[in-house]
Amino acid sequence: MKKNITLLFCFLANLAVQAQTDFPLQFVDKEGQVIPDGTVLDITDVEIDELFGDIQMPVNVWVKNVSTQKVQGGGVYSIQSISNGWLQTCFPVNCMRRSNTGSYSTESSAFAPGQSTSLQTEWLPNEEGVCVVTYQLQTYAKKAGNSKWTADADGPTITLKYKYVSEANGISTLKSDVECKVYDLSGRIVDSKIKNQKSKFGKGLYIINGKKVIR
Amino acid sequence: MNKIYLSLILLLLTACSYIGEEERLIYVKPEPAERIVLLEDFTGQRCVNCPKGTEVIEQLQETFGDNVIAVGIHGGPLGFAGNARYEGLATDAGNQYYSHWGFDYQPIGLVNRHGAVNYTDWAATVREELSKPAPLSLDVEALLHEGQINITVTANGTDGVVEGKLQVWLLEDAITALQLMPDGTANTSYIHNHVLRAPVNGLWGEDFTVAEGKQKTIQQTFQPDAAWNTQHLSVVAFVYNNNGVQQAAKAKVTEQ
């Protein structure tokens, strides 16, 4: 009996996995490779946006219509943890910024066969901390007698685990050469360019592009 | 002979039938006013999808010309107030409007203030609004004189009594400023048009009433910020109430 239940469970689990594999919308990486359902990505790379002066942690995740049919799609996402700052998502048609935990949904948009659209999500921390968010893709349909699109099927999920620990503390690294002035608390410029690796100033509280950063 | 004349006069006097007071004048209803639609675009320089909303506006203005008045209201979490290097277009007023309407994402719009409309639905909503009659006409004149803008708004009631608020805004076109683009890149030379610079008569305007067949004139004076290009300024006036925007008008600021 126990064996039968185990087999039944395996069969149902396999059906669920099969269903997600067959789902018309899939998360893909920048090479277009499908990211398996339920994947958890750890993100520690940090960029400093020289335009707006933000610390940002972008992710290269795309959503692709892998079917041969036009699909109306969107998604839901759940922020399980956000220590500080904003989680930004610009998918598929609008941009949203959230600073609180909770469950949210996106608007929907039409995906042509083979079309890829960037998830355009990033965490913009103000200081060290974590942010955990799970996205789930959905397809939409118009119910009889209703002209509005409503979600009708759930697809694959991806969980993004952001962790921002300043470079000096050893985890997050600045991805690119970014021109920006770094001041100490007395207003003295201590660095004008941050390289990929360790900067030449030590631990402490600094002002980088108008924001306080602990290093 | 005199009796004959007297009889004729009496006959003429008695031949007049009584006409009720309400029937003595024939009322001619004013011509219906042409509907001008106000589209408030809640946008932001950090919002990568907002240029897509601007494209929709450009298409609408190409199709409907001056019958659609668009206003770019920068604010909300994706607005940018500026830093030492780049000009920000977000204003306190823009942030307050965004919060007031309880929006959740950008770009998002109000078409004659009948609730939030996603930019993908703006064209259909504008078409629907244009087909509705307007209960008043509005005309705006904005003259720049010695650094001050003298604004005259003239309203003519064309259907019933319109009660609500008159709102006057100052806009600027052709501002070159930073904008994040849909492909994720930053465009530091993006041209921003119809940007809300400031409310002229308070955040929510002033009380307003006009009756059918009557005319009302309102005057305002406003001093623009020295950093704004007065050659690219314009004034938008609109009347709104609980039933949405009743009518709108726009005029370029011209030298007096």
CATH label of the domain that carries residue A85? 2.60.40.10
Per-residue tokens: B102: 């309880």
pLDDT, tens digit (0-9, with 9 covering 90-100), for A146-185: 888 999 999 999 999 999 997 665 545 555 433 444 545 4
Any idea of the CA torsion for B171, B87, A118, A78, to the nearest 10 degrees?
-90
Residues A155 and A181 reside in one and the same domain: no
Q: Verify whether the Cβ–Cβ distance B48 to A90 is below 8 Å.
A: yes
Considering the domain boundaries, does residue A206 fall inside one?
yes
Contact B69, B38 (CB under 8 A): yes
**Distance of alpha carbon B37 from alpha carbon B122, whole angstroms:** 11
Whether pLDDT at B50 is above 70: yes
Contact B107, B119 (CB under 8 A): yes
Residues A81 and A187 reside in one and the same domain: no
Give the pLDDT band of residue B23 (cuts 50, 70, 90).
low
Q: Residues A186-211: what's their mean pLDDT? A: 46
Whether pLDDT at B16 is above 80: no
pLDDT, tens digit (0-9, with 9 covering 90-100), for B68-94: 999 999 999 999 999 999 999 999 999
Considering the domain boundaries, does residue A9 fall inside one?
no
Per-residue tokens: A157: 């999920």
Dihedral pair phi/psi, residue A33, rounded to 5°: -80, 135
Q: What is the pTM of this model?
A: 0.81
Give the pLDDT band of residue B27 (cuts 50, 70, 90).
confident
Residues A138 and A201 reside in one and the same domain: no
Q: Residues B129-157: what's their mean pLDDT? A: 97
**How confident is the model at residue A152, as a pLDDT?**
93
> How many domains does chain A divide into?
2
Any idea of the CA torsion for B41, B44, B48, B53, to the nearest 10 degrees?
10
Percent of chain B scored above 70 by pLDDT?
A: 91
**Does B248 reach chain A within 8 Å, measured CB to CB?**
no
Whether pLDDT at B19 is above 80: no
Residues A42 and A97 reside in one and the same domain: yes
Whether pLDDT at B126 is above 50: yes
Give the pLDDT band of residue B25 (cuts 50, 70, 90).
confident
Considering the domain boundaries, does residue A2 fall inside one?
no
Per-residue tokens: A171: 């985890």
Residues A186 and A140 reside in one and the same domain: no
**Distance of alpha carbon A50 from alpha carbon B244, whole angstroms:** 42
Contact A40, A200 (CB under 8 A): no
CA distances from B198 to B214, B223, B234, B236 (A): 30, 10, 11, 11
**How confident is the model at residue B76, as a pLDDT?**
96
The chain-wide mean pLDDT, for chain B, equals: 93
Q: Is the model more confident about A2 or about A63?
A: A63
**Distance of alpha carbon A194 from alpha carbon A209, whole angstroms:** 12
Q: Is the model more confident about A77 or about A170?
A: A77
For residue B179, what is the nearest residue in chain A, using CA coordinates?
Answer: A51
Per-residue tokens: A143: 């119910």
**Does A11 reach chain B within 8 Å, measured CB to CB?**
no
**Distance of alpha carbon A85 from alpha carbon A55, whole angstroms:** 9
Whether pLDDT at B24 is above 70: no
Q: Residues A37-45: what's their mean pLDDT? A: 95
**How confident is the model at residue A38, as a pLDDT?**
97
**How confident is the model at residue B26, as a pLDDT?**
81
**Distance of alpha carbon A80 from alpha carbon A100, whole angstroms:** 9
Q: Give chain B positions within 8 Å (CB) of A94.
A: 49, 105-108, 118-119
Residues A84 and A57 reside in one and the same domain: yes
Q: Is the model more confident about B209 or about B184?
A: B209
Per-residue tokens: B247: 């009518």
DSSP SS3 for B20: coil
Dihedral pair phi/psi, residue A79, rounded to 5°: -95, 110
**How confident is the model at residue A6, as a pLDDT?**
44
DSSP SS3 for B193: coil
Q: Verify whether the Cβ–Cβ distance A95 to B80 is below 8 Å.
A: no
**Domain coverage including residue A193:** 176-214
Q: Verify whether the Cβ–Cβ distance A93 to B106 is below 8 Å.
A: no
Q: Residues A55-63: what's their mean pLDDT? A: 94
Whether pLDDT at A3 is above 80: no
B187 Cβ contact partners less than 8 Å away, ≥ 6 residues apart: B178, B179, B180, B181
In the block, tokens 């069969």 appear at: A11
Residues A133 and A195 reside in one and the same domain: no
Q: Verify whether the Cβ–Cβ distance B184 to A52 is below 8 Å.
A: no
Q: Verify whether the Cβ–Cβ distance A120 to B46 is below 8 Å.
A: no
**Distance of alpha carbon B37 from alpha carbon B125, whole angstroms:** 10
Q: Verify whether the Cβ–Cβ distance B118 to A210 is below 8 Å.
A: no
Q: Give chain B positions within 8 Å (CB) of A107.
A: 105, 118, 120
**Distance of alpha carbon A71 from alpha carbon B210, whole angstroms:** 50
Closest CA to B255 of B172, B164, B161, B143: B143
Residues A71 and A139 reside in one and the same domain: yes
Domain chopping of chain B, boundaries: 31-134+167-202+227-255
**Distance of alpha carbon A38 from alpha carbon A93, whole angstroms:** 24
Residues A64 and A155 reside in one and the same domain: yes
**How confident is the model at residue B67, as a pLDDT?**
97
Q: Is the model more confident about A8 or about B100?
A: B100
Residues A36 and A91 reside in one and the same domain: yes
Q: Is the model more confident about A19 or about A86?
A: A86
Residues A156 and A116 reside in one and the same domain: yes
Residues A85 and A109 reside in one and the same domain: yes
Contact B20, A62 (CB under 8 A): no
pLDDT, tens digit (0-9, with 9 covering 90-100), for B149-172: 999 999 999 999 999 999 999 999
Could you please state the CATH topology (level 3) that the domain comprising B31-134+167-202+227-255 is classified under.
Glutaredoxin (3.40.30)
Considering the domain boundaries, does residue A3 fall inside one?
no
pLDDT, tens digit (0-9, with 9 covering 90-100), for B196-223: 999 999 999 999 999 999 999 999 999 9
Write the residue in B85, B104, B120 that is nearest to A93 by C-beta.
B120
**Distance of alpha carbon B50 from alpha carbon B72, whole angstroms:** 10
